[in-house]
A and B are shown apart, each in its own frame.
Chain A
């Protein structure tokens, strides 16, 4: 099975902190990448797509390093509402199909 590896955490940070998550993926043929967040006992929700040139959405910045098969997510000015599990999700293509590969994610806890 194709895999993705993340530090499970938990990352415990104070409000206002900057926190970074890293992720490595095993399939060098992966073409698309996403960050999802999953709150406890809820469905995963798309946070952002990850583009080769890197992209930013408000307080969130994602980077992709294809040579190292490495993806990162930076969260600035952490809010209490950012507490969740963050999932690095590559889209793997095999033959005629493409499927998202989910790992266990990284748990973030933002404290007051």
Chain B
């Protein structure tokens, strides 16, 4: 099993550009999450999903949108990237509200 995978691993955007980060899991987990981690900081929850077709806001949702069209995939979109969105983005999944398993992360730089 691959666990949780993320695409792409690295990306550089210019201010105002858009992009989508893809997260996929093969553990048949219902719950999936998107976090961001800034240097020297803890993880902050952006959005999460408790099942196919459902999403909810986390702690820092502004500037991001998400979709969960398939149980195994959770997409994070940036419609108009800003330098403040430069960060490392981690996706995670879990069996209900329990320990979470993380993907390797996407390093995003917005110039």
Please report A residues at the B interface, Cβ cutoff 8 Å.
1, 32, 34, 41-46, 49, 87, 91, 93, 97-100, 102-105
Contacts and interface: CB of A to CB of B under 8 A. Distances in A.
Chief secondary structure at chain A's binding surface: strand
Contacts of A93: 97
Contact of A97 (B56, B99, B101, B105): B56
Contacts, number: 43
Contact of A49 (B35, B56, B99): B99
Contact of A100 (B50, B100, B104, B105): B100
Nearest to A45: B102
The dominant DSSP class at the B interface is loop
Given A42-B105, A45-B102, 13 more contacts: A1-B59, A32-B98, A41-B88, A41-B105, A43-B104, A46-B99, A49-B99, A87-B42, A93-B97, A97-B50, A99-B48, A102-B35, A104-B42
Contacts of B90: 43-44
Contacts of B35: 102
